[in-house]
Amino acid sequence: MGINLSNFLSSKSNNARMSDFQDLDHVDGLSISVVSANLYNNNRDDLAMFYFRDGANYASAYTQSKIVSENIKWNLKQNSKRIFSLIVNTRNANAFTGKQGYESLKKLSETISSELTKKQEQDEKTSKKITPKDIMFGCTGTIGEPYPYEKISHQIPSLIKNIKYTQNKFIWMKAALSIITTDTKPKLAMEECNIGNKKVKIYGIAKGSGMIYPNMATTLAYVFTDAKLPNDILNKLLKKNITTTFNAITCDGDTSTNDMATIFATGKADNIQIKSINDKKIQTFDKSLNRVLLSLAKRVVSDGEGSSKFVTVNVKKCKSEIEAKQIATSIANSPLVKTAIAGEDPNWGRIIMAIGKAGPKINLKKLSIKFGSNKIVFDGKLHQSYDETKTAEYMKNDNIDLDIEIFTGNKSFTIYTMDFTKKYIEINADYRS
């Protein structure tokens, strides 16, 4: 899967959701800079700065792994109410780097905050003193390698010099490309909606292709809005919408040390004040945020390492949403299910296996399984009109829907995943090459 540049250049949609590229433009209060720190030794863009001239309210969700990267530790310790800059590097995860990794971020934050304060004094009528605690970091790449402080530090002057105060889709694409690792495509999404009588923008970028099995969010995902929303509302909105988006995808069943999803709100839309997540005036924003997050999450799955199929696992009629998710995840993470799908084999016995090992109780007398519109199991036994030839033909599609009904309640959950191909092995065998 390569980058469809012509599609990106010719896109005309103002509100497209799942097209390859979208016409992201300017988010007031946000500035972007992208440079090469030569972390890959090939001069590709690998370092990005997102600068909020007047600061931004924010909310983050992080990996629940017991081993986390040094940048996650840094971000959790700052507790700043407003963030002035997010710095993201690729190629190096800054995980399992200990004191060297953390102290590198501390020194970088001191340099960046000092230089941005100088820029404030030069560019703003009323300048603000930016401190190290106002800086956030995102890191992705190889675990356990020393953090490349010197390379990144050397590029800070260029990063700040190249700040673009207005954005267009070229800058957004440049930023999205700068944070990818084994991804074959940048991931961008957008929505526009209203809060009261004010139009607001919600723009997002993400990276992720492998080591994708969330326990909060997956990979790196950054969402930017000009909405005026307090941190507590942003936090509630993010956690609510993570559940059915980034927390509902899996590529390979492996949770990263660096998972991070953050939303930044510049407040420049100057919409009516929102004090509660239950305020009806924020309902449209809530739905639009979900669409942005879901679009980015689906893009991660569709770009999964070596994938040839996008798979939707719908588990319905369960006792609880938790049990529905357990069963859906068991199916989605099964290597046997994934390889059968890659081989376009309607091996429904592997679905039976995955349901059975998941843990929740099942009404075996009512259990139902469908591949697309093809009925396989009905009332707990093989459907009398099951046609394997027809089902095998369905398995040739790029998008596969698996529908399972458990009949222990009325709750449901949907997981999005991919197949396992030989290419997956090749990519991960050569990951550090």
Positions annotated as catalytic residues are 218
- Alpha-carbon distance of 107 to 64, in angstroms, equals 26
Determine the Cα–Cα distance for residues 139 and 86; give it in Å rounded to an integer.
Answer: 11
- The answer to whether 367 touches 405, Cβ cutoff 8 Å, is yes
* Half-sphere exposure at residue 119, Cβ-oriented, CA atoms within 13 angstroms: 24
Residue 389: alpha-carbon gap to chain centroid: 37
DSSP assignment of 178-234, as one string? HT-SS-SS-EEEEEEEEETTEEEEEEEEEE-SSS---SS--SEEEEEE-----HHHH
Enter the tokens of residue 207.
């990276």
Tell me the torsion sign for CA atoms 151, 87, 187, 142.
positive
Q: What are phi and psi of 428, to 5 degrees?
A: -80, -20
| Residue linked to tokens 């259990």 | 367
